[in-house]
Amino acid sequence: MADLPHPLAAFIVGEIRRARGAAGMTQEAFGRGAGFSASHVSAVEGETRALTMDFIKGADRALNNAGLFERMVGKLGTPSWFLPWLDAERTATQLRCFQPSLVPGLLQTESYGRAVIRCNQTLSDDEVEKRLAHRMDRQATLTKATAPHFIAVIAEAVLRRARADFREIMAGQIKQLTTLAERPNISVHVLPDEVSMHVGLTGPFSLARLPDHKWVAEMENQLGGVVVDRDDDVDTLMSRWEMVRSEALPRRQSLDLMREVETSWT
């Protein structure tokens, strides 16, 4: 159940199971209403198959409950707009990420991730730790047996942004970046500071290639974000990806630069 933080996924599955039982529905009858086979329903309820947004929406249809479970997920944990991206991220055969201001979440250390999340001063310590645990759980995507090829382009300024009390965290983060970038399925490319103007300055975005070869994209902003699947919009982001990727350093040169910066922080 990698799509949602495990405690939340287990809770939602339990509630769906109870609602199905209360409605007197067998797994087969529930599956017909939800658009899934009885074996699929059994696997989700037994926690041997991932809980997806499609299944949650199907459960709402089968139980005719006006979207209760979809709203519950949005209220209790992951923002509803982000759930389709988690589905895409989990099943992707290739992931591409451009980040001009932060280390991508899938590559962050626990210390770096906590510092980033804590920037939102409206969050309680408990909320920070819950969001951090979710972020760390998502990183299993890059190390599983069927891990996608992950390509990240990050701005050099991201590596060098460290005041005195943040340098130890940043040194650890860059060390993790270089370690991960040595994996055969992960490439990290640095966009050097000397490239002062480029199309990526308008903001970060990610792209996922799905098993059916379709691409979807995700963009975040101050109010949340959006998942993009319209062909024209994805094509625009794909074109912008090619532009920023072409300005970035090759893989080996990027590793050398990251090691140079890491040395300067230690």
Quick one: pLDDT at residue 2?
Answer: 36
Cα atoms found within 13 Å of the Cα of residue 74, Cβ hemisphere only: 11
**Domains along the sequence of the chain with CATH:** 6-76 (1.10.260.40), 80-265 (3.30.870)
Block mean pLDDT (10 aa), the chain, length 266: 54 87 93 94 85 87 88 66 77 94 94 91 84 86 92 93 81 93 95 77 88 91 80 94 94 93 78
pTM higher than 0.85, yes or no? no
Q: DSSP labels for 113-158?
A: HHHHHTTSTTS-HHHHHHHHHHHHHHGGGGTSTTPPEEEEEEEHHH
* Whole-number pLDDT of residue 81: 65
* Residue-averaged pLDDT of the chain: 86
